[in-house]
Structure 1
């Protein structure tokens, strides 16, 4: 698949709502929640005023002039929060573009950028049943905490 990875443009920030929704893990056989779920404060922390805070970085995957995936980080008090110096990841792809390696390439690009900017580590939260756990481990993320449903993982840069 011939796609390109590039920085998100300021006038495209609203698309993060779409990818925030797509980032919600839905186990096989479960019904997807309504789109309005992204309006909850614990989810809006990922996108509200994105681009205005130090540490806000986003890359998108574009295929045939359509944004099909996004990875973004920000220092926020989210599910994957470890401290106030560590950016937390959010990543998702439109369903029909999953399992082509695009997510891995987005993650690699972001990890490289974070290292370049001097960050020492990055974190994320992932549902234990999410197949992406394997990808995160291959990229160097380690489980540092967990609860019944999810892992908190960090990657040392």
Structure 2
């Protein structure tokens, strides 16, 4: 488990969440996709545009020096503008990103657990995400109780029941 401090995300974390959206979109080693290209695409910008809207919640992990190194957050996306992992109205979709040097040290797991616990306390029955099938994070999600509910082309929507 990560020993890094984790704090609630605030409105001013929007730019960092954008960075983490880019990390999530370019998780493969050697993947190069310009930041502006990722963030200008509607598929990715919907996860951060207008952060912090009503219903948004998230957490940020910080290094011992106080630098943000990872984040997990969720949004309530509408049926007419669904995210990759949209499974239904009233189900928050989570996004998670961790800087490469901090991966595989428990940072992502700690963020994920914190966000799931928060969603449960907010009364949600389920939480969803989307993951590319060859992403090593699939094993993390499975170990945390997420199950595939919809298969897509190269990516799957996964859900965790919270009650």
Count of aligned pairs: 155
Cα distance per residue 1:10-42 (max 9 Å; x no partner): 2222211111101114445x5411111221112
Within a 5 Å distance, the mapping from 1:74-113 to structure 2 comes to: 74-76=75-77, 77-113=82-118
The 2-side partners of 1:15 and 1:91 are apart by 12
Query: Residue 39 of structure 1 aligns with which residue?
Result: 40
Q: TM-score, normalised by structure 1?
A: 0.93
Partner of 1:50: 51
What stretches of structure 2 of length at least 5 have no aligned partner?
none
* SS of the residue 1:47 aligns to: coil
1:69 aligns with 2:77: no
Is residue 128 of structure 1 aligned with residue 133 of structure 2?
yes
Offset from partner CA, 1:37-84 (integer Å, 9 cap, x none): 22111211000011122x200100011210000000001110000111
Q: CA offsets, 1:123-144, max 9 Å, x none?
A: 0000000000000001000001
Structure-1 residue corresponding to 2:156: 151
C-alpha RMSD of matched pairs (Å):
1.3
Aligned partners of 1:31, 1:110: CA distance in 2, in Å? 27
Distance, in Å, in 1 between the alignment partners of 2:23 and 2:111 is 15
- In structure 1, C-alpha distance between the alignment counterparts of 2:113 and 2:31, rounded to whole Å: 31
